[in-house]
Amino acid sequence: MKPKVCILRTAGTNCDKETAFSFEKAGAQAEFVHINAFCSKQKSLKEYQILALSGGFSYGDDLGAGKVLANELKFKLSGDIKEFISSGKLIIGICNGFQILVKAGLLPGNENFTQEVSLIINDSGKFEDRWIYLKSPVNSRLSPVSGRLSQVKCIWAKNLPETIYLPVAHGEGKFITKDKQVLESLNKRGQVVFQYCDKQGNLSGYPDNPNGSVENIAGICDDTGRILGLMPHPERHAFSWQHPAHEPEKQGSGFLIIKNGVEYAKNNL
């Protein structure tokens, strides 16, 4: 059976159609659900295996990117979401979706949904749309249990090439943590999934790191590896024709991320 993906919508959501398209191409069945339908219990999260928070400007990002929708999740749907997570299901937050997950305290994730990291205004002070390279840090391959190299922790990031190429398009994507301990813990537990880098895979400054993120962090996952948030847009490089130079790749590298999620859901949920 095809895994069911809920693409959550509200005022200001965009990127929803193309995200759904990528999921469907990867073998899932996507459905758009407005937040009101969950809050009024017309719909239930239980119906879905994957929750996707796509890009956009939820409620205009008027009080900081993703803030208002994050609060809605936190104060109106926290029970449903906790249950969704504890039943082993998957969440991906892309761009505004990442901002929402972070501000709702779902990433890096703790018992009380307390916010520990943030995504703030780019160092350049402006919105920028540009293509960047990403790599998964070596320590994301460390198993927290054995301390030995093992598979990448995040189920969305398994078996990716050394570097992948995706576009970012945001004004508030600078990743910061509350303090050093949070950063250390993310590193130690293998929760840093993506870092901005140059074409060769070296960590480098602007514009390779487009927003000034701490340690070039572009995406993190929770401790289970099942919730991923990232600023770059995998759905915008799901197909080779979206590549700026139309490089003859069979599939865009963003597609691999989406496909990982769908495969995991097929096999485990």
Partner 1 sequence: MFYKIEVKDKPGIFDAVGDGIKRDISDFGIDSVSGVHFAQVYILEGYVSEEELKTICEELLTDKISQDFSVNALTGGRRQATGDEFTIEVAHNPGVMDPVEDSALKGIMDLGINGITSVKTSKKYLIKGKLTEAQLKTISEKLLYNKLIQHLVSPVTGRLSPVTCHLSPDKAEISYAFKLINVDLLNASDNKLMHISKQGQLFLNLNEMRQIKKYFKVLGRNPTDCELETIAQTWSEHCYHKTFRGKIEYREKNTENRKIRKIDNLLKSTIMKVTRELNKPWCVSVFKDNSGVIRFDEKHNVCFKVETHNHPSALEPFGGANTGVGGVIRDPLGTGLGAKPILNTDVFCFASPDTAFSKVPQGSLHPKRVMKGVVSGVRDYGNKMGIPTINGAILFHEGFVGNPLVYCGTAGIMPKDKSFKKTNPGDLVVVVGGRTGRDGIHGATFSSGELTHESEVISSGAVQIGNPIQEKKMVDTILQARDKNLYTAITDCGAGGLSSAVGEMGAELGVRVDLEKVPLKYSGLSYMEIWISESQERMVISVSPDKAEELLAVFAAENVEASVIGEFTNTEKLQLYYKGNLVCDLGMKFLHDGIPEIEKKAMFVLNNHREPKINCPKDLTKSLISLLGHYDICSKEWVIRQYDHEVQGGSVLKPLTGIVNDGPSDASVVKPLLGSKKGVIVSNGINFRFGMIDPYWMSASVIDEALRQVVAVGGSLKQTAILDNFCWGNPDKPDRLGSLVRAAYGCYDIAKVFGVPFISGKDSLYNEYAVHGHSIAIPGTLLISAISVMDDTDKVVSMYAKKPGNLIYVVGNTLPELGGSHYYDLAGYLGNDVPRVFAKKALATFNALSKASDLKLIMAMHDCSEGGIAVAAAEMAFSGGLGMELVVSAIPYVEAQSEKRKTKNKKSKSEEQRNDVILFSESNSRFIVEVEKKDQNKFENILKGISFGLAGCISEKKEFRVYGLDGKICISAGIGVLKKAWRDPLAW
What is the DSSP secondary-structure string of 124-192? Answer: TSS-EEEEEEEE--GGGGB-TTT-SB-S-S-GGGTT--SEEEEEEEESS-EEEESSHHHHHHHHHTT-E
What is the β-pairing status of strands 29-34 and 4-9? parallel
Phi, psi of 26 (to 5 degrees): -85, 0
Residue 125 Cβ vs partner 1, minimum distance, rounded to whole Å: 4
- Within 10 Å of residue 86's Cβ, how many Cβ atoms? 9
Local structure of residue 207 (DSSP, 8 states): T
**Smallest separation (angstroms) from partner 1 to the CB of 66:** 10
Q: Is 64 in the site for partner 1 (CB under 8 A)?
A: yes
DSSP result, 84-128: HHHTT-EEEEETHHHHHHHHTTTTTT-TT----EEEE--TTSS-E
β 128-135/50-53 pair status? unpaired
- Per CB under 8 A, the list member of 8, 28, 38, 72 interacting with partner 1 is 72
Position 12 contacts partner 1 (CB under 8 A) = yes
Q: Which of 2, 51, 57, 4 lies closest to 27, judged by CA?
A: 2
Nearer to partner 1, 177 or 191 (CB): 177
Q: Does 184 bind partner 1 (CB under 8 A)?
A: no
**Least separation in angstroms between CB 129 and partner 1:** 5
Q: Which of 72, 116, 172, 235 is catalytic?
A: 235
Residue 34 within binding range of partner 1, rule CB under 8 A: yes
- The answer to whether residue 235 forms part of the interface with partner 1 (CB under 8 A) is yes
Q: Which of 6, 15, 95, 154 is catalytic?
A: 95
Six-digit token string for 175: 């990743």
- Asked if 223 and 109 count as a contact pair (C-beta separation under 8 A), the reply is yes
Among 245, 247, 250, 267, the residue binding partner 1 under the rule CB under 8 A is 245
Residue 47 annotated as catalytic: no
Query: Vertex 47, ends 45 and 50: CA angle to 5°?
Result: 70
Of 49, 136, 140, 177, the residue at the interface with partner 1 (CB under 8 A) is: 177
List binders of partner 1 among 205-224 (CB under 8 A).
Answer: 212
**Judged by CB under 8 A, does residue 186 bind partner 1?**
no
Residue among 60, 88, 201, 205 that touches partner 1 (CB under 8 A): 60
Q: Which residues bind partner 1 (CB under 8 A)?
A: 9, 11-15, 17-18, 21-22, 34, 36-37, 55-57, 59-60, 62-64, 67-68, 71-72, 75-76, 103, 115-118, 120-131, 167, 169, 176-178, 212, 233, 235-236, 238, 241-242, 244-246
Residues with a known catalytic role: 95, 233, 235
